[in-house]
Amino acid sequence: MKTGLHQHIGLRQDLRINPRLYQAMDLLYMPLLDLEQHLKQELLGNPFLEMIEPEEEVQATAAEQQNNKPEKEAKAEDGPDWENILLEDRTEHGVPSGSYSDAREYVEPVTVESKDLIDYLRDQTRMLDLTPRQQLLAEEFLGNIGEDGYLQADLEQIMKGANQLLEEHEAESEEELNVPAYTMSEVEEMLRIVQQLDPPGTGARNLRECLILQLENQKRTDSLVYRLVKDAYEDLIAHRWSDLGKRFGLAPEEVQRAADELARLDPKPGLQHAAGNDAYIIPDLIVEKIDDKYHVFLNDSGLPRLRISKTYQEIARDKKKYDGESKEFINQRLNSAHWMIQAIEQRRQTMLKVMNFIVDRQREFFEKGIDHLKPLTLREVADVISMHESTVSRVTNEKYVQTPRGLLPLKFFFSSGLSTTTGEDASARSIKSQIQKLVNDEPPKNPLTDQQIVEMFERKGVKIARRTVAKYRDQLGILPARMRKRL
């Protein structure tokens, strides 16, 4: 093989995506609040963009007519020295400096931290009369409690973790402390203390213990439901009412009524104090029925209205003043401003196209309810509006629409379909709704089996397999027929 440097000429095809295409895709992906923040940042970063509200436009026009003063002259008298600002702006990210930054102050929204379950429990332990040794052990317990309130480690692991903390503390100390290790009796005593904290059921190791703690907190240790949970939990969760009735000398109906009281207890007590997401949902689109016709509107009145700054345009027109880096900077920012305005308009039109098609396709849903929701895929929408499927996916991502049927995510309108004897497809979401309705209306003593539900759908002309019914029933959180039976 001959080594050395060589030159050769060749042709090849490369696919390179324009960075602005990535930006355009990001704009489609953004929900309303994210887009609003993005546009405010763009306003800060590009001096050729300016925001104007409709009210300001009206006021500015009225003021100009009243004063009969040329716009350029007025801005020269009242505004900052834009020409110097433009020439001095050389920041890497294009964030205006000096007077321009002061003119457009941007305040980043800050989320206020709220207390979670562990903070709530810690506040309670600090109010107890605990020794420093007990307080350290209590902290080890709190560190092993999940957000649902359950203890996520066994007592051996907690004791081991607490003793490790003691060893580390002693190793860091200059004096020999000779602190005795925690014993299992101390750990068990602290478990009882933790399990007395609010909310009742905290610190439970399983559902049975959680229910017992709540019943004890309600001082119902002499009740039948307490005996059922404590002494016959396996039969209770299996709904063996007859066996339990014979065991406790009661009628099966009486046992079932006692078991019904468990529904009033909280299986995950810690979630009452879980750190919640304080995000507010603002619909990106609005569907209204006007004169028997559905109209689609964009809910973008709160978005900054962008336009090209006339002041900067006039400065940029005098090309004799600028050359080299100044000229390149001006051209780049001006082109970027034009592109941003076009991209926002393109986003608006794309969202309206997608939502208008959804409204046309799902008109029966808006008129009659979820039972009449038709199956719909992203591919179908993409084909009709002549756009790529990924574009439609971005439009529907984390977007919400306010409709006469309530506030709904755009993804709600997309679901797979099941074939019917009429040749039309039925939406999977519609089938789930009908299953829920059938179960709600079934006779309590003779609940519908999955096979019976299949047969009922067949009489309606819907072809559905029994395993599909079972899958949808599980997704809806509906128990099997034998466990829904009432005596």
d(CA 44, CA 50): 9
- Stated pTM of the model: 0.55
pLDDT in tens, 285-316: 999 999 889 999 998 877 777 888 777 777 77
pLDDT in tens, 365-384: 999 888 888 888 888 888 88
Mean pLDDT of 225-230: 93
Element (H, E) at 265: none
d(CA 184, CA 164): 14
Residue 75: pLDDT above 50?
no
pLDDT in tens, 142-198: 989 998 999 998 999 999 988 888 887 777 666 666 778 899 999 999 999 999 999
115: which residues sit within 8 A by CB, 6+ positions away? Answer: 123, 273, 275
Band (17; pLDDT cuts 50, 70, 90): very low
Mean pLDDT of 416-420: 66
CB neighbours of residue 163 within 10 Å: 18
Band (228; pLDDT cuts 50, 70, 90): very high
341 three-state secondary structure:
helix
273: which residues sit within 8 A by CB, 6+ positions away? Answer: 115, 116, 117, 120, 199
The beta strands (E) that lie in 199-343 are given as 285-290, 293-298, 306-308
Model pLDDT, residue 92: 40
Task: Please list the residues that pair with 418 across neighbouring strands.
Answer: 426
309 three-state secondary structure:
coil
Sheet arrangement for strand 400-403: 293-298, 285-290, 400-403, 406-409
pLDDT in tens, 191-219: 999 999 999 999 999 999 999 999 999 99
Residue 243: pLDDT above 60?
yes
Show the domains of the chain with their CATH numbers: 18-103+281-414 (no CATH), 117-273 (no CATH), 418-484 (1.10.10.60)
The CA-atom distances, in angstroms, between 188 and each of 156, 207, 302 are 10, 19, 57
Structure tokens at 201: 């059921």
